[in-house]
Each structure stands twice: as C-alpha cells, then as structure tokens.
Chain A
Amino acid sequence: MSFLMLNIATRSLAAQQLAMDVTAQNLANATTPGYDRQIANLTPGPEQPMGGYNAANGPSELGDGVSVASVSQATDAFLTRSVTAQTSLAGNWSATSEALQQLQSLFQEPSSTGLAEAMDAFFGAWQTLSQNPASVSAEQAVLGQAQQLTSAFQNISDQLTSLQANLNQTVVSEVGQINSLAQQIADTNQSITEVGIASHPNDLLDQQNQLVTELSKLVNVTYATSASGATDVYIGAHALVLGSQTSALTTVQDPNSGFEDVQWADGSQANIQAGELYGNLSVRGQSVNGTFTGYIPTYLTQLNALAAGLANAVNQLQSSGYAPYGSAPTGLPFFTSGASGTLTAGSIQLNPTLAANPQLVASASAPNSPGDGSNALAVADLAQSNTITYPGQAASGTFDNFWSALVGQVGLDGQSALNRQQTTQTTLAGLQNQLQSEVGVNPDEESVNLIQEEQSYRAAVQVITSEQSSMSALLAAIA
C-alpha cells in the first residue's frame, strides 16, 4: 500500500481550496465595475506509470490528483473593442447635446423677453410715432424700445460667447485628464510587463480595461495588446501610449479665434473624431482647414448678420430723414457700434447723441414739418419688408423670417443631438449588457460552484479518513 491516495487527497484539498478562494473573489467583486470573472482551471495531475500485475502489456498509468493549472479571466476582446468605440460615440453626442440644451432657452419663442417681441415692439413704437410725430413721449418710446432691442441682442450674444468660454475651459481640462489617464495606462503597462503576462495578472488587466474605457469616453482611441501584455493606445494614427512611454496632448491658443486648439506636444495635428472632447470642440468651434466652424460660431455669425442688417436699414432712414423741426437731413445713424469697429449683436447700441436728444429722431421726410410722420412710417414698414439684405448672407427677407430660420436651426440641432444621444446611449447599454453577459459574475452560478467545491473538499477529507482507517487496520494486523 502506498501513500499515493494520501497524495491525491492532499492535492485535491489544496486545489479545491484555491478554487473556493477564486469563487470567493468573484462573489466579493460581483458588482465591481470593470471586473472580469475569474476561473480556476482545474486539470488532472500528470500521469505516472504504476507497477501493475499485467506486466505483459506494460505498466498502466494513473494520474496523481488535481491541480489548478491557472486562474484565468473571462474576456471577450471583440465586445470590449465594440464597447470602447461606442463609448466614444455616446460621449460625443452626450457632450454636444448637453451644451446645445444650455442655449435652447436663449432662443425660446414665444417669449416676452425674446428677440422677436423686441423687434416687433421697436417697429411698433415707430408706427405710433408716425401718428404723432411731434410728440416727445412718442419719441422717448422709440428710444426706449431701441434700448430694449439692443439689450436683447447683447444678451443673446453675451450668453453664446460665455458658453464658448466655458467650453474652452472644459476642453483644456479634458486634455489634462486625457494626459493623466495616459500616464496611468503607461504605469499599469509597466506593472504588467514586470509581473509577466504568463502569470495572469488579472486585476492589473481589469484596471487596464477600466482606464482605456474611461479614456475612450473622452476621446476616440484604438488600442492593441502587445506580446508582453502591455496595451498600446492610439488616437488616430498617432500613439498616445506605447508600452510605458506616453506622448502628451497640448492646447495652443489660436491667434484668430482666441480659443485653444488641441494638438500633440510634438506639433503634429491631433485626429480627434469622437468622444466628449470632440463634442465640446464641435459646439465651441474649432479651426478646420483654416476656417473656424462649429455650432456656436454659426449661430453668432447669423445673429450678427441680423443685427447688422437691421441697423443698416434703420440707420439709412434715420440719416436721410428730417427731425420734426429739422431743416436738413439729420445725417445721424440710429444704431452705432460703441467702442469696437464693426457692428455686431454684442456691440450694437443706440446712438448716444439720439439718446440725449430725442427730438432728433427722424420722423419726417420734408424740412420743418412737425406733422409729417412719413419717414417714421417708412421705418415701421421695414418690419414687413422682404428685401432687407444681411451682410455676408446670400438670402434676403424679413427680419422675423431671418430670426425664425435661426431659431429653427437651433431647435433642430438641439433636437437631433438629443436623439443621437439617446440612440448611441441605447446601443452602448445593449453592448455593455452583452459584455456583462460574457464576463460578468453571476452570484447564483458562483453559489453553485461553491457547493460543488465544498463537496469535493469533503470528499477529499473522506478519502483521507478512509486511508487513515485502512492504514490503521493494516498496522493493527502487523503489530
């Protein structure tokens, strides 16, 4: 009688204990984000020739017990890549839609503080003036409504530019986050190569996955696992992380727009196509082939064109018209651009000379005609003129048509960003669930495994007890 049985039982005890440790680890990390379920791979021990009685056919072979060959991870590289790519898309539309939602309320109509109402009230005041051109209170009303109109323009313009400034700050901080995540990935790569991929550093690999997924939310990345187990990360074709080395992204201020452009530290262009960084850049505006394009720059251009078109049309009539007691055309513009040169929605203001001298409002078309309100009538009728031209815009049309086209554009952009956010989010959730299905921990399954392992452990103990009693019986016979 040999001690082989004891050996086998001992090996079994050790193997089942390790298997139970793995099960315990799985149960403990059932809800840890990024945790891939670990599997204790049991293999039978190597076979050995046994002395047997059938020597004619050669010795039989018997394995000597069970051992845990390795503790591996459940992974699905394909699904993980899909999740990473989709995370970038979802991040892109989530950031875009969030930013666009912020400026929806600026363009809300009908609204008592909206631009359409301000324009209607302004031209309405001119209409009232035309019925009573020499009335000081009617002149004051025109100037008062003009102030409201300029504030409405300035308000929208200011809110848009301040959102741009916010997004600019966010872009800078996101670039910092990307660099920091890249550094963490590089450090983890270092640890993995030190431990060696053959030793299955499962927790380090989980950490690696988490970092790459977090990174993909911010910017579009592709990655490849090298033979040493390190993950190389690329943005476009340029490497972000190679083994334990990183290349940094930096921000450089564009002299024309004043906003930060994102590029690599070595000066090459960064190919950013998705992720929250791209979403924020597309709303704030970025230089593409020399032109500064984006959602907000487009809205600002249109708003400025509206302000300039309106100012030009009114200025012309004010300048060529006569004040009620004027003997010559006033020659004054109604709207000026304040300190800055070009007249934009942000710089438009009422001519201070007119503000101080309401009697210079040009209501008449002939000299010394305090009862003539025909010029005021002409200004009021600008509200329905569809031959107004807007600087830099091909289309001409009425003020409220131009404004409603802009509002429609803003609404449409916001709506479609919301829709895409929802779609990409739903697809991402589906992919994440699929991935979970492959690599996630099911506590019920682990409980069943635990029962099996416990029983095997008990069986091994039973074998030891039985070997013990057999040995005692044998010794008792001899002694």
Chain B
Amino acid sequence: MRITPEIMSQVLLQSVNQTQAQLTQLEQQASTGQAFQLPSDNPAAVTQSISFTHGLALVSQYQQGVTAAQGWLNTADSALAQGEQVWEQVMQVANEGANSTVNAGDVLTLQTQVQSAEQNLGSIANEQYQGSYLFAGTANQTPPWDAATSTWSGNGGSILVQVGASTTVGVNVDGSTLFPQLFSDLKALNTALGQGPSAVQALMPQLQTDLNALTDARTQVGSTLALVNQQSSQLTSLQQDLEKNLANVTGANMANVTTELAQEETVYQAALSSGAQILPLSLANFLNP
C-alpha cells in the first residue's frame, strides 16, 4: 500500500486529537472531583444520583420535622410538669380544707390559694410555642382559656408532624378534654371550702382523678418524644448511607484519575516527538542538486 505524507500527518493528527480529548476529560475529573460533568458522560450514574439526592432531601425534611416535634413535645412536657406541681399544691390545700380543725380565717387563706392556683393553671393552659397555643388543638392562634368567661375555645384537632417516610406523630395534647374539667373542679373546690370540710372531703377522689389525668397526659407526651428521638437517630444513619452512596456514584476515584493522567501524558509526548522526527523526512533532503 502506498503511503503518502498526507496519510502520515492525518494519522498523527487523529492520534494526537484522541489523546488530547482523553487528557481534557481526565483534567476535568481531577479538577472538579466529579466523575461526570454531563448526563451523556454516564447516564446510569446520573439517574442514580438523582434518586440519592431526592432521598437526602426527604431525610433533611424529616429531620426538620423531628426538631419541630421535639420543640412542641418538650414545651408541652414542661408545661404539664408545672401543671402537676400546681395541682399537687391544690391537693394540699384540699387536704387542709378537709381537716375539721379549719376555721373561717383559714378558709379565706385557702380560697385565696385556690384562686391563685386557678390563675397559674390559666397561664399554663394558654402556654404558647412559637406563637401557637399548645393546648388549643387546631384553633391555636387564639388563647383557648378565657378566664373572664370561663370558656374553653380550643378544639380536639391534632397537630401532625411528619418525622419519617411513613411516620407522622401528633405533637399536641388535647386540652379540650383535660383543662375544662380542671377549672370546673377548682371552682367546685372554692365553693366546697366555703361549705365545710365534709364537702371538701367529698371532692378529694375527683381531685385525685384530675392529677392522674395530668400525669397520664405527661406520660403520653414522653412516649411520643421517645418515638421522635428514635426516629431522629434512624434518620441520621439513613442520611449517612445516602451520602456515602451518592459520593460513590458521583465522586471521581482520584487515585485512578492521577494514574491515567500520567499515562496519557506519556503517550501524548511520545506521539508528538515521533511525529516531529518522522514527518520532516523526505528524499529531497538527501538529493544533490
């Protein structure tokens, strides 16, 4: 087969172009740390990276939910703890009032204590978390307990927060089944103190039931909080897995890249130097005129 210089230079140019293209791609990988820059570089890896990124976005949303749920539940827990304290004081007052040695002056003192307990309980019932009223159900932009009219305007709706792909928790306590009973029992205690120790004694079982209700509510909050905390640690490990998978799919293997880069450089130099040596040769160089 005849070889003409044009063939030789074409072959050299093609090889040099190919090597340069390889070098460019390796350089890009080395400088960005990414295995691919465009979907056409690696279509399968791009689709995988989309699904991992989506998973990470969802996990981050749920972690936000966990934080919000923890905030609600912790606030409810401390409010209910205060409520328990107030109620224990009320129980003490009732105990004293049921004692037959109480006199009129003591009754007045006890009634004052009951009234201040009612005020405390009122501010606990209207406890807020980030501008919303904790115990008001879904009507939580207005204070549920109106002390002047003794009405409860909250409802029994649930505040739902999503903390996992299929895990949603209710983070509020239903104030409408808890507090109205407490307030009416306090009023009854106030009246009973005026009536006499036996009336107060008759109220004691109800007051105990009320304390139990407060404790139960607090236990429920505690168990929801435990669920949320467990969910939080699951989310953290899920996030780590997804991040690792994403890095595997999108990250360039730097050791490979640097090795290949060195190899391609050698090939490139060899092509250029051999071309420089061979192409200028011609019979005309050796002919005598």
Contact = CB atoms under 8 A, between A and B. Distances in A.
Interface of A: 30-31, 100-101, 104-105, 107-110, 116-117, 120-121, 123-124, 127-128, 130-132, 134-135, 324, 364, 366, 368-374, 377, 380-381, 383-384, 400-401, 403-405, 407-415, 418, 426, 429, 432-434, 436-438, 440-445, 447-448, 451
A437 B50 contact: no
Contacts of B49: 109-110
Given A371-B139, A440-B2, A447 B40 contact: no
A411 B282 contact: no
A131 B283 contact: no
Contacts of B157: 366, 369, 371-372
A116 B49 CA distance: 11
B141 interface: yes
Interface in B41-86: 41-44, 46-47, 49-51, 53-54, 57-58, 60-61, 64-65, 68
Interface string B114-147: 0000000000000000111000111111000000
B50 A412 contact: no
B1 interface: yes
B46 A411 contact: yes
A397 B57 CA distance: 18
Size class of the B contact interface (CB-based, 8 Å): 35 or more
Contacts, number: 186
A131 B172 CA distance: 12
Given A366-B157, A408-B47, A411-B38, A437 B283 contact: no
Interface in B134-192: 136-141, 155, 157, 159-162, 165, 168, 172
A380 B64 CA distance: 13
Given A135-B131, A407-B39, A448-B283, A442 B141 contact: no
Contact of B38 (A116, A414, A434, A448): A414
A448 B2 CA distance: 15
Contacts of B51: 400-401, 404
A109 B39 contact: yes
Contacts of B108: none
Given A127-B64, A373-B159, A377-B168, A437 B3 contact: yes
A408 B58 contact: no
Contact of B132 (A100, A371, A440): A371
A442 B2 contact: yes
A380 B10 contact: no
Given A371-B159, A411-B38, A109 B138 contact: no
A258 to B, nearest CB: 28
Given A104-B38, A411-B39, A437-B4, A371 B165 contact: no
A411 B40 contact: yes
B157 to A, nearest CB: 6
A426 B5 CA distance: 19
Nearest to B4: A440
A109 B165 CA distance: 23
Contacts of A130: 160-162
A407 B47 contact: yes
B43 A384 contact: no
Contact of B2 (A110, A414, A438): A438
